[in-house]
Structure 1
């Protein structure tokens, strides 16, 4: 059976000959031959002299007196060569022939260094005063060019030039040192050609229905432009993806690259900014030039805040002319005098507050797509995507996993699934069970368990009462999130933890703020009630409470004395000010009101714990006995908790760390 050729060669034309394999010396053999020729030329034109260095005394007493000298030649007015009579000296001048560079010339037998030609002639004349005129020796003078001395400074320069030719050739051929230095202003964007099959599609983007609909419309415009152009519609020039880290901005861009079937250029915003002046602007021009040559095309700039920061923000302390020149060139390419039809720009950032306003205006980035943390239904879809490659046990429930992961982003969910598989593999299981996912969640949120950490019995008792104080206060306050478990096993940097299951909220009332502050102060209050002294273990709790109190007073306008005033700056312009945007009297009032809020919450917490002192003691002793107390045991000790049925959509901490309250040393 014959094997068919895969080449599509037109009839009547010969297939192109394959290029010879690269390698070998190339043109370097020319440099090698040139080097050998120079070395041979230097050797034969200046043979290595075997003359013996002598002194004037030896010349006068042993040679001149005994009349053994046949000729003396002074070379370059620096030294004299002494030829003796028993040498068969070939004198070229006697034959009338010019000296040959490659002729066999016998060198002098002796050599003497002269300080001065006049002094040497005077000494020689004195030494030959008694000689007859026929026996006197004449002095000949020669000026010789030493190729060795010439090459001593030519050869290093030539070697340096050859070295740079070699480096530039390697850089130009895409060697390990990167692209050519002559192409430093060229764009470094990665190109995904049309027709390239991508491994990421919109089916891999779970949740984010509204964001997917917006982006898929752009993709559909590229595939079927006539549907929109018949009505006079124009394609958006730019789409800005904004959202917290891990919400899927880059994933959506990868899906666009896989679905659009048009040339797709992707690069990071930091690749525009270099230490060389003008490189960033040159790369922007080259990027858009390449994109326009392949229209319709898409450009994706990840982390655009690296180059798109607001000009002038931060005063003169953080000015960067090179970055601003790059931004100006980017603004011109997006919407300037030159046409930019057929090129769509996608950009992603998690810091929209620092971007320049000129970059965000319509005509440059017409659409701003905000990606938020996924809801419960969206988390279910994301779990289904990341559970596909795992071998799951029958007890794995996607609904329960979505309920136990509020505030988690898509990246966090992917990390949980991978960590659960690692835990199951570590235990030599054949499938991943539901309990493995719970361990993975605890591992990611709280850190690794450190059962080997040794603490003293007194410290362990303090931690037990501290965590019991958090649990009791949280159990009897209706506006605190549902309690899941309490643990005094060291995990990460904490010695103990209280786990909550926060509700998905959008706003927070003043009563909810107060109850949350009381729950955070429960550990410190329990220590003061039981031991009549306090420790440094409440540092994390006090930091959280202080921030909440100042936010209530100065941001949310929840204080009666200050009233409905907010000093929150969403634009970030107050960062340029060295002082606070309010007077000293207002600052003193804010401090007093925040302190009063914290003190009121602390007194309320102590009163609640004194009322339930027996429950506090029983829970602390149970913690000392079994180290971890689950929700079922809490219900047996504290009774059935009255859940807050008012689903007031109140906002909670976006981080998964809101799931626990930690006790740190």
Structure 2
């Protein structure tokens, strides 16, 4: 490629790339093997009849397919930040984390954010938060399927360890966000590993935890539901910069969540009695609020193909028994765990039930 000219030909190949586009092209090829690079460039050249800005888009799409083919990593599209209701404190954490990866932070020798562990009750939008994190930080999100890692080798000793090394190597070259759902399940089984699989699980988990300790290029975003069995060294500061507990949304957060889901269905929130909906949905998770809006819209459609009204959503709310009621004892045990274990720099607890003063977030 002629680096002194935007437009050039080499061996009959039309090259139309600015210097900035060349840098984007190199970035797009990071994490691919030599053979994979040849394949994706060939497809891009055929599709765009040369190398140009359109080629980079094609290469990025092909790269997603390569990542998908790894079996344990999935590229996840970002979610606009305005699709997440509430979470004021988490948004601030994500913006703070994004700054630590900037050139200015590097020049000041600021250590990049290690990662965020989002602990909370089921249905409170933790996986949505991962996708929003990708949007706020402007970093690609790769989801790690730890179950696939452990199952890839079919019981062959050493295969799972090789799989995790390959997945983390790809994540390291892309330098985005590595998402790990149900972190507590991913790192469980270390103690029994020697008896059950010759130590394969323990070695694989140890590699992941050590990588998290040493990693400086990837923002780890892990989520967890029931974390009572986690060992303290698995979530200590050094592996995570922030540990954030998410409880049920408070009233003002439920208001925002209702607005988000009404807007998604092209309904004007000002035409609804939002105060009534918020009052009726005490102890509802974000997922349950979404379900109430969805069911209310369906009820109105069936009842004469009309637009949903407050009464339809109220009826849907009254037909839902929230998880917080059905599993109250288990949920209180998780809250107790959060009180006792989420401490230290960057630790936050989200919910008035924990702080006792009506404030959703407190620094511990």
Given the alignment of the two structures, is residue 205 of structure 1 paired with residue 203 of structure 2, yes or no? no
Q: Does the Cα contact within 8 Å between 1:374 and 1:410 map onto a contact in 2?
A: yes
Query: Which residue of structure 1 aligns with residue 208 of structure 2?
Result: 330
Distance 1:421 1:284 in 2: 44
- The equivalent residue for 2:223 is 348
Residue 347 of structure 1 aligns to a residue whose secondary structure is: strand
**Distance apart, 1:393 and its partner CA:** 8.9
1:292 aligns with 2:172: yes
Q: Deviations over 1:50-107 (max 9, x none)?
A: xxxxxxxxxxxxxxxxxxxxxxxxxxxxxxxxxxxxxxxxxxxxxxxxxxxxxxxxxx
2:97 aligned with 1:218, yes or no? yes
Residue 119 of structure 2 is aligned to residue 242 of structure 1: yes
Report if the CA contact (8 A) 1:246-1:412 is conserved.
yes
* 1:422 aligns to 2:301 (yes or no): no
Larger relative CO (CA 8 A, sep 6+): 1 or 2? 2
What's 2:9 paired with?
12
Structure 2: gaps of 5 or more residues: 15-40, 47-61, 339-351, 355-364
Task: Give, in whole Å, the separation in 1 of the partners of 2:225 and 2:148.
Answer: 18
Match of residue 133, structure 2, among 250, 256, 260: 256
Q: Does the 8 Å CA contact 1:303/1:349 hold for their aligned counterparts? A: yes
Counterparts of 1:406 and 1:394 in 2: how far apart (Å)? 20
Shift of 1:316: 8.7
Distance 1:280 1:357, change over 3 A: farther
Q: Structure 1 residues 310 and 317 mapped into 2: Cα distance closer, same or farther (>3 Å)?
A: closer
User: How far off its partner does 1:366 sit?
Assistant: 2.5
Closer/same/farther in 2, CA of residues 256 and 11 from structure 1, 3 Å limit: same
Q: Structure 1's 434 and 294: CA in aligned 2 closer, same or farther, altered over 3 A?
A: closer
2:273 to 392, 397, 420: 397
Equivalent residue of 1:234, what SS? coil
Q: In 2, are the aligned partners of 1:390 and 1:432 still within 8 Å (CA)?
A: no
Change (3 A) 1:221 1:439: same
- The one of 244, 252, 271 equivalent to 1:369 is 244
1:514-533 superposed matches below 5 A: none
- Cα offsets for 1:643-665 (capped at 9, x unmatched): xxxxxx879xxxxxxxxxxxxxx
Structure richer in helix, relative to its length: 2
Q: Which has the larger radius of gyration?
A: 1
**What TM-score comes out, normalization by structure 1 length?**
0.38
SS at structure 1 position matched to 2:100: helix
Which of 402, 409, 414 is matched with 2:285 structurally? 409
Counterpart of 1:309 in 2: which secondary structure? coil
Give the distance between the partners of 1:199 and 1:269, measured in 2 at CA. Answer: 21
Counterpart position of 2:20: none
8 Å CA contact 1:310, 1:355 repeated in 2: no
How many residue pairs end up in the alignment?
Answer: 281
How large is the RMSD of aligned CA atoms in angstroms?
3.9
Does the 8 A contact of 1:206 with 1:385 survive in 2? yes
Is the contact between residue 161 and residue 204 of structure 2 (CA under 8 Å) also seen in structure 1?
yes
Match of residue 189 from structure 1: 73
CA–CA distance in structure 2, aligned partners of residues 400 and 291 of structure 1: 46
1:110-509 aligned at under 5 Å gives the runs 186=70, 188-191=72-75, 198=77, 200-222=79-101, 224-226=102-104, 228-229=105-106, 231-274=108-151, 275-277=154-156, 278-295=158-175, 297-309=176-188, 311-312=190-191, 321-335=199-213, 340-388=215-263, 389-391=265-267, 396-445=272-321
Query: Any unmatched runs of 5+ in structure 1?
Result: 1-7, 22-173, 193-197, 447-501, 503-539, 556-568, 572-648, 652-665
Deviation at 1:394, TM superposition (A): 7.4
